[in-house]
Structure 1
Amino acid sequence: METAIVGLVGVLLGAILATAKDWWLQRLQLQKAAAYLCVRTSAALERFAERCADVAVDDGLCEGQTDEYGCHQIQIAPPTFDPDGLEVEWRSLPVALMYEVLDFPSKVSAGSHQVLAAFESSGPPDYWEGFEARQETYAKLGLDAYALSAKLRSHASLPAFDASLKDWDPVAFLRGRLSVIAEQRTRREEQIALGNQRDDL
């Protein structure tokens, strides 16, 4: 009887140890997959953000010149972010973070539609409303991309983004562009208000 009990305990203990080993190996594999995902995806987001910085200064001029018709034309193609092409294990991320990353292309698409609407309501030769909306939209998208990259880096215990390793600080640059755009808009609104006051006199 005692031998049977000892045997049964041995079988149960063996099963528990095997299950624990499988769980540990699976957890380790998932952690490695998540780390790889965070490295690949944060790099892709930061490349996207740097290209957003290029769009954020595109005023439609080529080396300070308009096109042959005297109009401003888009010079910098908008960046894209395609998480489906990264070939990573998305299920290794927490659901909320996974959703943020996979939903980011929808945010980019929504911004693109806003820009298109702004261009449709602006006119030649400078299309300033369209270019201002485009610069502002992509500056914001660039900052959103850096913020999402920071979350991925933190999740995988990766080093934070360090602008000192580059010859410029894209985050500060994008914030600066938003400040410039806001100042331009404020000055324009003040001039319009002043013009309306003069008309009322």
Structure 2
Amino acid sequence: MIEAFIGLAGVLVGSMITISKDLWVSKLVRRREGSYSAIRLICILEEYADKCIDVVCDDGTAYGQPAGRTESGEEYNAPQIAKPYPLEYPEDIAWRSIKEPLMHRALALTNKARSTDRRIDASAEHALPPEYEELFETRQEGYAWLGLDALGLADDLRKEFKIFAKSSAELNGDWDPKAFLRGRLSQKQERRSHRK
């Protein structure tokens, strides 16, 4: 009878070892997939943030002069930088290996960009020539927020997956894109408060 208990205990211990090993291997594979996906997302988000910064810098002028001209010769401010397309993620992202809040933020950023574009289009209808100030303010402010969101998400993915590779901004020590975007947003808020 003792031999039966010893045999049963051996089977249970062996099963537990096998289950533990399988769980450990599954967790390791999931972590590797998550790390790879996070690196891919970080690169995409930083590139998107760079494009947002380009839009934030676009004030509708070329070399300090209005960029557009009507057939009758009247000058007006016109966008020089096209709005970036909303984010599109590659199919090889292992979304289930990324924690839900980060996954949601990444996927929701595309909807935020579309919403921002609709707001910009609506402001264009009410902007007055030749400066089209409302259009450029909405455009610059909207893309400043999108750029900050993208950079913040990239930072959080780095922390979550312990990715120590430096961002392109960190490689250029003189440039801090988040500080630049925050500065532009505070300028917009100051300008808005002065008008009121």
TM range (shorter): 0.7 to 0.9
Aligned equivalents of 1:182, 1:127: Cα separation in 2: 18
Q: Partner of 1:128 in structure 2?
A: 133
Aligned equivalents of 1:156, 1:185: Cα separation in 2: 40
More displaced, 177-186 or 87-96? 177-186
In the alignment, structure 2 segments of 5+ residues that lack a partner are none
Contact in 1 for aligned 2:48/2:87 (Cα 8 Å)? no
Contact in 2 for aligned 1:44/1:81 (Cα 8 Å)? no
- Larger strand proportion of the pair: 2
More displaced, 95-104 or 3-12? 3-12
TM-score normalised by length of structure 2: 0.87
More displaced, 158-167 or 146-155? 158-167
Q: Name the larger-Rg structure.
A: 1
SS of the residue 2:158 aligns to: helix
Q: Partner of 1:196 in structure 2?
A: none
Aligned equivalents of 1:157, 1:183: Cα separation in 2: 38
Contact in 1 for aligned 2:55/2:143 (Cα 8 Å)? yes
Cα deviation code 1:51-81 (max 9, x no counterpart): 1111011111233332231122211111235
Q: Partner of 2:28 in structure 1?
A: 28
Aligned equivalents of 2:104, 2:177: Cα separation in 1: 25
More displaced, 21-30 or 90-99? 90-99
Contact in 1 for aligned 2:87/2:109 (Cα 8 Å)? no
Q: Which aligned pairs between 1:66-81 and structure 2 lie closer than 5 A?
A: 66-69=67-70, 70-81=75-86
How many equivalent pairs are there? Answer: 189
Aligned equivalents of 1:118, 1:183: Cα separation in 2: 20
* 1:50 pairs with 2:57: no
Q: Which aligned pairs between 1:101-112 and structure 2 lie closer than 5 A?
A: 101-112=106-117
Q: Partner of 2:192 in structure 1?
A: 185
TM-score normalised by length of structure 1: 0.85
Shift in CA distance, 28/83, structure 1 to aligned 2, threshold 3 Å? farther
Q: 2:171 aligns with which of 138, 142, 165?
A: 165
In the alignment, structure 1 segments of 5+ residues that lack a partner are 190-201
SS of the residue 1:56 aligns to: helix
Aligned equivalents of 1:168, 1:147: Cα separation in 2: 16
What percent of counterpart residues are identical? Answer: 39
Backbone CA RMSD of aligned residues: 1.9
Aligned equivalents of 1:109, 1:89: Cα separation in 2: 24
Q: Partner of 2:104 in structure 1?
A: 99
Contact in 1 for aligned 2:76/2:130 (Cα 8 Å)? yes
